[in-house]
A = this chain, B = another copy of it.
Amino acid sequence: MKSQLNSLMADRNLEAIVILASHDYSAPLDYLVGSVHITGGMAWKKRNADPILVVGGMEIEEARASGLTCYTYSDFGYYELLAQHHNDPLQANVALWGVILDRLGIRGGKIGIYGTNEIHQLLALVDLLRQTYPQFSFVGEAGTTLFDQASLTKSSDELDRIQSVAKRTNDVLEATWNFIAGHDVVNEVVMKGHNTPLTIGDVRTFVRRSLLERGLEDTGMIFAQGRDAGFPHSRGQDDMPLRLGQSIVFDLFPRELGGGYHHDVTRTWCIGYAPQEVHELYQQVMTAFDIAVEAYALNKQTYLMQTAVQDYFEKLGHPTLRSDANTQVGYTHSLGHGVGLKIHERPRIAHNSPDDVFSIGNVITIEPGLYYPDKGVGIRIEDSFYITETGELVSLTPFRKDLVLPMVRKS
């Protein structure tokens, strides 16, 4: 939780952390200061002090809406620094950092840099910072960062938002199901007009509109049919008509509009009917899903849930990443991951992530799948869950897990 940030900074010996804002949504910035609509500037947090924002004068009103103490570049003499450095913004920016560090009373030590930004700009900035201020150590962080660690435990405020996003996402699934079911079928093709098939692009447009109506935004949904469904991250082809009897992997992971909490869900649908082979593989994935949920226990290592699923799939003869790390058929991915302001958070549920455990406040996905692109088949079933204060695993995704989406011949 956010309240852990000071101790997580102390663990890392960080005197301060800085988040660099940009036009792009930045989960660490949102986590630290809340939703703030600035396209540049920085959030600084000295250890054991409240964060502050430093922005261009044009964005000061938006910054102030955060409720934090806010400064403009002018407050730190930026434009004078810019003139001194012959209008070189990089040099002036480095000088600005010196002024801010001095005003914060930080004389040396480790400064952690976070956020989503243009990495080429960041690298040039850090190289000059290091050269200019040898008394400081400017560091990044790979693996499980302090924001990743804090985000492991969702607060009740966060959970409220997550549950709201979940509810709205489930509504969009229902609307999409009904949207497809409302169409006619001719020669095994779903039709939107007399001679016009309903395409994946049409469905995607419907889903995006349905999300928008509910204050959500798509972040790259997968709607992949037939062979495409056999590749876990194939997004699907917009011009492809929807056909009966094909496995369709529909993986929806929207977030609050403009950036915020995600929900993550996958359903596999066969429109009209399911071929025997698809039906059988689907039953196996359903069983794997149940095995995963049954393998859950509070404080248990997450990888044990994945190995339980891998045991089951391997016994049926499917390759897994454990039996063949390079396999592109069978069960080719990890079992799940944390979800929050980022779509992929901690904990990971993977056979090669032995250090992650299930803990109170986690929000996670469970998403077994089977993929055989050469047979034109891909199947994945995914719900999101949260772990309650008493350690229960509770689904956020009550939407039905029916394989067959029944159609009524209208004409």
Contact = CB atoms under 8 A, between A and B. Distances in A.
Interface of A: 20, 22-25, 28, 37-39, 56-62, 72, 74, 79-80, 82-83, 87-90, 112-128, 138-143, 145, 205, 208-209, 212-213, 219-220, 228, 231-235, 257-258, 325-328, 332-333, 342-344, 352-354, 373
A40 to B, nearest CB: 9
A140 B120 contact: yes
B124 A120 contact: no
A346 to B, nearest CB: 13
Contacts of A120: 28, 112-115, 140-142, 145
| A61, A121, A209, A231 — most chain B CB neighbours (10 Å) | A61
B39 A233 contact: yes
A324 to B, nearest CB: 9
Contacts of A126: 123, 140
Contacts of A233: 38-39, 56, 58-59, 61-62
Nearest to A237: B65
A373 B140 CA distance: 39
B121 A122 contact: no
A234 B74 contact: no
A328 B60 contact: yes
B61 A231 contact: yes
7 interchain residue pairs of minimum CB distance: A123-B140, A79-B325, A124-B142, A74-B326, A120-B140, A58-B233, A61-B231
Given A234-B61, A328-B57, A141 B124 contact: yes
A119 B72 CA distance: 23
A72 B325 CA distance: 12
A326 B79 contact: yes
A79 B121 CA distance: 31
A64 B120 CA distance: 26
Given A23-B342, A61-B231, A127-B140, 12 more contacts: A58-B232, A58-B332, A59-B233, A74-B325, A115-B118, A116-B119, A120-B141, A122-B123, A124-B140, A125-B140, A212-B212, A220-B258
A23 B24 CA distance: 11
A112 to B, nearest CB: 7
Contacts of A328: 57, 60, 72
Given A142-B125, A212-B209, A352-B82, A57 B326 contact: yes
Nearest to A204: B257
